[in-house]
Amino acid sequence: MGTYILRRLLIAVPSLLGISVVLFTVLALAPGDPFEELATNPNVPPEVRLALRAKFGLDDPIWQRYFHWLTAMLHGDWGFSFISRVDVDQLILQRLPVTLVIIGASQVLALLVALPVGIYSAARPYSWFDRIASSLAFVGFSLPTFFTGLLFILLFSITLDWLPFVYRADITATGWAWWWEHIRQSIMPVMVLGLFQGASWTRYVRSSVLDVIRLDYVTTARSKGLKERVVILKHVVRNALIPVVTLVALQMPAVFGGAIVTEQIFRIPGIGSLLIDAILRNDTPVVMAVTFVFACLVIVFNLIADLLYGWLDPRISFR
Amino acid sequence: MAVVGLCVLVAMVLAVMLGPSLWKVSINDIDFGARLNGPSLAHPLGTDDLGQDLLSRMLYGGRISLAVGLAAMLMAMLVGVTIGAVAGMARGSVDAALMWLTDLFLSLPQLPLLMLLIYLFRDSLKGVFGPELGVFILIVAVIGGFRWMPVARLVRAQFFSLREKEYVEAARALGASTLRQVVRHILPNALGPVIVAGTIDVAAAILAESTLSFLGLGFPPDIPTWGRLLFDSKDYLDIAPHWAMTAGTAVFLAVLAINFIGDGLRDALDPRKVM
């Protein structure tokens, strides 16, 4: 297991480097010049501008600039936000916990929906429960997150007036009231993301349990006289989850996309809304850094999926 | 269900293609006397905050949303089939490199990168092709460029099994060039799963475009795509819910219909899955 983890970690490094190359290329190919303002400013003589360009290495060949940028990123020098006048890494550290909490809670909700519903549907295929669950799952993953978000606001905040629709980071209450307020305002974003994910995972779980449940070893387990519960939970589910983990890992980028949308709808101060603000205000260092953080998060979650995979299927780690 | 989906989709396509010539209200007629009205005879779907007619805006936006979906799908299929075919025929180090690239693209965070690319390149393309066409090309290219990976993997897997079949060997023995083997013999037989993946891609592309517009990063504000209509409507949710509902329902119906069609096609083309 140890060598397996190590090998997975080593595989993650080239992917991160690849992503950083893609990001840097995009930025380098993009039109626009950070010194554009100086060029139109009559108080700055052209030779000063050229000297500045040379000083900041803008005239170097592109691969030199890439290594310069990479070493700066590795040293923790992520640049300085044009708009908020704060170091980018501080800005991101401020925002990251909220995003992680919302995404984490919604993934847990998605699992809590998808596993029982998917397994139960597959244990009784084409029953009424299965039909209703499958149709609902279909509707659930066809509903775009931005639309469900608005529907939830319309229903729970405007019509019923149960939940607040703007996420506030500065809640003054203390103790239990503080927790209660935070839970209340997180319900809708977590539901929107979690139900969307849960709907598509339900389909994966159902189809992979269906593939496994007809295999011979399951029949053997039944004929040994094991209880149906034990057969399903101990023998079927563990094997059925292996392909599901792969599919879930492949969906991670989409999860972060959904998180950006939900953060924007509910005004959650996470890194997704930071990214959108930064894009709308041309705050390039923040845009670059947040995109890179998203890339790192995707890689980290893929790594977790790989480790889960090794745990679910011990054959893999010995290969 | 797939047939119902197909009917709904055909109805929507017909509506957005023929609709604007039947419903002749301009999308830009501003009428402050009729702001945020609910559905009525003069405006069957109501009006927005400037008193513009929502039905004609929906029809116009639907053209763009559906066109983006189809074009991005074609783009993804083109890139995916090419890369998959090259990897499947070449094998060896070329295959390994291309698959590494595919895996890299699969682990990129797509929405942030989409937004980054559009933010960086929007203005220069607008200058070259005009505001509408420029953004259209950009969005199609970028969405298509992030959705080819599943197609490439599918095509590669199909090629690996098909290239060893007897009829391909026969063609090879008759002296057919590699290109001819691929185009005439292997590709037509590999297309089944690709078509399914392509159908689902249309839905994904429509969703991606609506998401971008919803975040305010898609087409310019005066072009009412479905996502843009939702983006504009979200500040009036309490007084004019009909506005958000029509736009959202349209996106939802289109995506649902396409997903149903894809599901039906999968069942039809892949008998293994049917019990």
Q: Which residue of A has its CA nearest to B262?
A: A138
Which residue of A26, A138, A142 is in closest CB contact with B116? A26
Domain CATH for A235: 1.10.3720.10
For residue A208, the tally of other CB atoms under 10 A from its CB is 23
Q: Which residue of B has its CA nearest to A214?
A: B275
The CA-based angle B215-A108-A317, given to 5 degrees, is 110
Alpha helices (runs of H) in chain A, residue ranges in sequence order: 2-29, 36-40, 46-55, 62-74, 88-123, 128-142, 145-152, 175-213, 216-223, 228-230, 237-265, 271-280, 284-312, 314-317
C-alpha to C-alpha distance for B194 and B150, rounded to whole angstroms: 9
Residue A244 domain flag: yes
Q: How close A21 comes to chain B (CA, Å)?
A: 11
Residue A178 domain flag: no
Range of the domain at A197: 96-146+191-312
C-alpha to C-alpha distance for A274 and A179, rounded to whole angstroms: 24
Of all helices (H) and strands (E), which one includes residue B190? helix B187-214
Residue A30 domain flag: no
- Chain B touched by A144 (CB under 8 Å): yes
DSSP one-letter code for A45 = -
Q: Which residues of chain B are modeled with pLDDT < 50? A: 273-275
Interface test with chain B among A134, A147, A193, A268, by most B beta carbons within 10 Å: A147
Residue closest to A11 by CA, chosen among A308, A312, A303, A309: A303
Contact A32 B248 (CB under 8 A): no
Per-residue confidence in pLDDT tens, chain A, 319 aa? 677 778 777 877 887 888 888 877 877 776 655 555 556 666 777 777 777 766 666 666 777 777 877 787 777 777 777 667 777 788 888 888 888 888 888 988 998 998 889 888 888 888 888 889 888 888 888 888 888 888 888 888 777 777 776 776 666 667 777 777 777 778 888 888 888 888 888 988 888 888 888 888 888 888 888 888 888 888 888 888 888 887 787 777 788 888 888 888 888 888 888 888 888 777 777 888 888 888 888 888 888 887 887 777 777 655 5
Which residue of A142, A276, A295 is in closest CB contact with B259? A142
Alpha-carbon A290 to chain mean position:
12
Query: Residues of B with CB below 8 A from A150's CB?
Result: 230, 234, 237, 244, 248
How many residues in total does chain A contain? 319
Residue A40 domain flag: no
Q: Which residue of B has its CA nearest to A282?
A: B119
C-alpha to C-alpha distance for A109 and A160, rounded to whole angstroms: 23
Residue A274 domain flag: yes
Contact A141 B210 (CB under 8 A): no
Contact B108 A253 (CB under 8 A): yes
Residue A164 domain flag: no
Residue A268 domain flag: yes
pTM assigned to the model: 0.81
How many domains does chain A contain in total? 1
Interface test with chain B among A121, A124, A146, A288, by most B beta carbons within 10 Å: A146
Residue A212 domain flag: yes
